Amino acid sequence: DAGVTQSPTHLIKTRGQHVTLRCSPISGHKSVSWYQQVLGQGPQFIFQYYEKEERGRGNFPDRFSARQFPNYSSELNVNALLLGDSALYLCASSLSAGGNHNEQFFGPGTRLTVL
């Protein structure tokens, strides 16, 4: 079975532009979470979606938004890009949302560079 897939692999944008990152969860998983990993740091939680509804939001500005589609895939959108948005964006899928036992499976990430 395929794991979590993300596209694109790499992306270069300039300040002020917007970007859309995509994620397809493992088949049968209904929850998708997004994390931002700045170089040299651990991943930071951005959003969690379950059954197309937002279940959690991290401490990120409103320039960041996301949605989940009926097939459980997800998009992360970032508007008005800043240099500081340069990071590896990780998507994780899980069977359900919440719960301490809910194992999250991570994709390879999208490397975003903002110039």
Partner 1 sequence: AQSVTQPDIHITVSEGASLELRCNYSYGATPYLFWYVQSPGQGLQLLLKYFSGDTLVQGIKGFEAEFKRSQSSFNLRKPSVHWSDAAEYFCAVPSGSARQLTFGSGTQLTVLP
Binding site for partner 1 (CB under 8 A): 4, 33, 35, 40-45, 48, 55-56, 58, 90, 92, 97-109
Least Å distance, CB 16 to partner 1, is 28
Q: For 98, list phi and psi in degrees, rounded to 5.
A: 65, -170
Q: Helix, strand, or coil here: 84?
A: helix
By beta-carbon proximity to partner 1, the closer residue of 16 and 54 is: 54
Least Å distance, CB 77 to partner 1, is 19
CA nearest to 111, candidates 16, 9, 7 = 9
By beta-carbon proximity to partner 1, the closer residue of 16 and 31 is: 31
73 to 41, 63, 81, 82, 108: CA distances (angstroms): 26, 20, 23, 26, 15
Least Å distance, CB 15 to partner 1, is 25
Least Å distance, CB 25 to partner 1, is 13
Contact in structure between 77 and 84 (CB atoms under 8 Å): no
By beta-carbon proximity to partner 1, the closer residue of 16 and 98 is: 98
Other Cβ atoms less than 10 A from the Cβ of 98: the count is 12
By beta-carbon proximity to partner 1, the closer residue of 38 and 80 is: 38
